[in-house]
Amino acid sequence: MCTDPYEALASLLNYSVKPCDDMYAHVCSRWIGNAEHVGFLQESFDHYLTRMHDIFETSDANVVGEGLSDGLRTGRVLFTQCLTAMKGNEVIKKDDMVFLTQKLLLTRVIESQTTQDALREGTEISFTFGLNGLLTLRPQRLDNEAVMYAFPGSAVKTYFPARADVKQCVSHLLTSMAIVTDVQTLATAVMSMDRVVAAHLSRARSLHKKIPAKQLGEESPTLEALVASPMERLTKMCSLSKGYVLVRDYENLVAFIRLLTQSSGLNISWYLVVQMLVDLLLFDYVARYELNDKWQALRACSVAVNKAVSNVWSSLSRQLMLNKTNHDPISDLLDGVRVELASNNSYVHEFLSGKAFSALQKVVRNISCVSNRELLQLQRKLVLGSAVLMPSHHSFVRSYVDVKQQARAASLTWPPGVVWDIAALLEMEMAPLYREETNSVFLSTTLEMPHVFYAEDSAHLLNYGVLGAALARELVLAVAPGSQLDTADLLWSSEATRQLLQQLTCYADLGIDHHEHNATDFRMELFPWLASVRVAYGALQRQFRLAELDNSKWKMMQRQFFLRFCLAACHSSSAAVLSARNKCIWPLSGNAAFMEAFDCPGTSPMSRHPCQATMTSPY
């Protein structure tokens, strides 16, 4: 990996394609279809995994302090067991499944007579062991209140690459349990239910909604019945008097529970069992089908350790991965984005409706960015609970469940605070995370490492192309439907709506990246990418002027900005509507600043796009 940020980027580009002809091909084509090469954001994450692997192998527990030494020791043993298990072609053995069926009381779910009984039993198991379920219940101490998170269950297919034969994995899991008569039929039923559930999960991003537990029954008696007993025990164990449920999308969750209660009892029972064991199913999949990908094993094992010892892991990993530099430009980066985003002269101002822009200004006025350094300082103020016990000497899956059960018991006695909980969630993420309860944007450790982030003074402005644009997208999403606003039409001005609908029709007619999604989906996914490149670019302009740099360097900074913006889009998550290609191409096509940076002639493909919207450039 090149240490110089300019050389590192130059080594990744495809010079046989000019930026003005096809920016995506110029930046991304060297990686596309090459499974052995990692991308821009992925390289930071893989570097993180490599360093953590080295730490587990060589570090002395004393370097992290007494309070974290047990967590490091537990993590080292569990990590080694996991990697050893990955070297075979199977992780889940038949005797392991017999053990898990008994320990996790899965038979109670399978033998339930009604769907509601199956859901209730599954909720109890999820609460006791901290496993995935259709409802994931986690305690948290917030303002002297007991809090549970209730999320709709994630579809099985979202845990595996598109090429995965998930049905075969499910069949193997069910066969291993040795109590199934018709494996293929049940595997088919599980996958069928998975498709139905996936169709009911909301695509729109939404923040948590805080609801008193006693009010759950007003709209969904089934939901109230599922969480009532765990909530009562949680408040009692924590000696607290109030109980709330933080729901990712309450209306969607109610509809989701209603869907499940109307489904076949047998189907939902087996679907729930597979959901609760999906982590183990993923380990088995990696061992069987990803043996040639060393990063898949490292990733799966790192995620496992993160989940199993989450009560100490976030502090441990952040302390070990802390950037040693004294210069911390992240706050300056956020300030630049925030000022530009809330400016009446910004691109976003003319694009948003009045209500949406007012909401956006309100959010960004006092928003803060919590970096790795600040998270570590905040976490050090927290008192660690009891030490995590050592894994057993049995198989990895048994050790994994044992440690998770111990960590779960500790979290019920010492519920994590908001900061601690967010930090644990962030460790394996490669995107900023906005949380309404703290009005802060949190950064994961991986986002503060090259090639995503550069802390050196000479390279500071390079951060705007990737992390600056990512922060801008996250701030825009903070006022997206599901939080302060209710519908996409409130977010867009009438003229912007007309123009984007026209653009969507154009692309659909050309057959370019056409999906069967409605205009609202399209607008809501496209808008943050359109806005972020303009907001981050405006912030870069302002910062360049304030730094009083030589004007001769401006064109180089322009080019670096757009190259890095597209580079981040190359390996962004494949969401509902926009492909990675169009996340790069659409925001830059016909963009006056982009054409100026690369001296594009007016006849070049990137200058004259057949579906370019008619909106005027803000530059």
Give the pLDDT confidence score for residue 485 in this predicted structure: 38
DSSP state of 277: T
User: 617 pLDDT exceeds 50?
Assistant: no
What average pLDDT does this structure show over 472-499?
A: 62
**CB of 238 within 8 A of CB of 148?**
no
Cβ partners under 8 Å of residue 269, min gap 6:
109, 110, 112, 115, 118
94-277 fold: Neutral endopeptidase; domain 2 (1.10.1380)
> What rounded mean pLDDT belongs to the chain?
77
Those residues whose C-beta lies under 8 Å from the C-beta of residue 516, and which sit 6 or more positions away, are none
Per this entry, what is the length of the chain?
Answer: 619
* pLDDT > 70? residue 212: yes
pLDDT surpasses 80 at 153:
no
Residue 619 confidence (pLDDT): 30
More confidently predicted of 451 and 472: 472
Cα 28 from Cα 39, distance rounded (Å): 8
Q: Residue 485: which residues within 8 A CB-CB, separation 6 or more? A: 355, 356, 359, 479, 491
What pLDDT score was predicted for residue 489? 53
CATH number, span 5-37+322-382+426-598: 3.40.390.10
41 pLDDT higher than 90:
no
Going by the DSSP 8-state scheme, the letter that residue 251 receives in this structure is H
The pLDDT score that the predictor gives to residue 483 is: 42
* % residues pLDDT > 90 (the chain): 11
What separation in angstroms does the CA of 332 have from each of 325, 328, 540? 15, 8, 11
Question: Distance between CA atoms of 332 and 574, rounded to whole angstroms?
Answer: 30
Task: State the pLDDT at residue 481.
Answer: 46
Domain extents in the chain: 5-37+322-382+426-598, 94-277
> Of 518 and 608, which is predicted with more confidence?
608
What is the value of pTM for the model shown? Answer: 0.80
For the stretch 422-428, contacts whose Cβ atoms lie closer than 8 Å and that sit 24 or more positions apart, written own/partner, are 422/375, 423/314, 423/315, 423/318, 423/375, 423/379, 424/306, 424/310, 424/311, 424/313, 424/314, 426/314, 426/375, 427/306, 427/313, 427/314, 427/317, 428/45, 428/299, 428/302, 428/303, 428/306
- Give the model's pLDDT for residue 577: 65
Q: For residue 375, what pLDDT is reported? A: 76
Confidence of residue 199 (pLDDT cuts 50, 70, 90): confident
Cβ contacts of 386 within 8 Å, gap of 6 or more: 410, 413, 414
Tens of pLDDT, residues 344-385: 877 777 767 777 788 778 778 888 888 877 777 766 555 444
